[in-house]
Amino acid sequence: MIERDPPRLSVAHQCDLLGLARSTLYYQPVEANVQDLTLMRRLDEQYMRRPFYGVRRMTRWLRGEGHSVNPKHVRRLLRTMGLEAVYPKPRLSQAAPGHRIYPYLLRGMTIGRPNQVWSTDITYIRLAHGFVYLVAVLDWFSRYVLAWSVSNTLEGGFCVETLRQALARYGHPEIFNSDQGVQFTSEAFTGVLASAGVAISMDGRGRALDNVFVERRWRQHQGRRRGAQPSVPAAGR
C-alpha cells in the first residue's frame, strides 16, 4: 500500500495517512526457531485436551515434560498462536433498562419429571479470529439439550429462534428459567413463553449457580441421552 519508487507523497506522509508507524515499513519478520515450533506444537496439542489451561498451568506442564520455559515465553507463544484459556467471560448476561425481571421460582423445588423445568444460557466459543456465541435450551430432569444454535453476535434473535425450536419439538415446560441477560428479558423472548402458558423464572443477580445445570453442561464433554434416570436434583441452594 506504500508507494516507494518514485513516491508522489513522502513515505512519512503516506504512513501518517494510513495510521502506520514508519518503523513498521522496515520490519522484517523473524521465523520461529525449531525450539519454539516444537513448543507451539505441544501447546496446541495440550490446548485441544485442556482448553481451560492458562499460561501458568501450560508452563508447569511444559516444565514437567522437561522443557526449560518461563511464563513470559509461554504467554508469547500462546498469543502468537491465538490461543486463550476458555473460561466464563463477563458481560454475557447484561440486563436492559426497562425489561421486566421475573422472580426466581425454583428455590426448594424437587425436579422429578421431564418438561417440569427447562433452562437456557449463553456461552462463547473461541475461534482463530474472534468469537461465536452458543445458546442452548436444557431440560433440568434429563439434562438433555433440547435445542441449540450459534451466532456471531449477542443479538437476541438467535435465542428466540432456539426457544421456538425447542417448543416445537418437545412441547412446553411448566417453568422456564434463565438469567437476567437482555436476550432473555426481552419482550420477544418472554412473549413466546407467555403465549405458550409457561411460568417464567429468572436467577437473582450474582447467583450464577441458580442455573447450575446449564453452567455445568458447558463443561461436560459428553451429554446424557434423554430419558436416562439421573439422581433427582433439588433446585436452588
**Residues of the chain falling short of pLDDT 70:** 1-7, 14, 17-20, 22-32, 87-97, 126, 128-130, 204-237
Q: Which domains does the chain have, with CATH numbers?
A: 11-81 (no CATH), 91-237 (3.30.420.10)
Q: What pLDDT is stored for residue 235 in this prediction?
A: 44
Distance set, CA 41 to CA 30, 34, 47, 149 (Å): 18, 11, 10, 31
**Bridge partners for 134 per DSSP:** 123, 150
| pTM as predicted | 0.52
Q: Give the per-residue pLDDT at 161.
A: 96
Q: Can you give the pLDDT at residue 26? A: 62
The helix (run of H) or strand (run of E) holding residue 109 is: none
User: Comparing C-alpha atoms, which of 110, 157, 116, 168 is closest to residue 135?
Assistant: 157
Residue 184: what pLDDT? 92
Between 55-64 and 34-49, two packed helices, what is the crossing angle to 10 degrees?
Answer: 110
Q: What is the pLDDT of residue 128?
A: 65
Residue 180, all three cell numbers = 437476567
pLDDT at residue number 223:
40
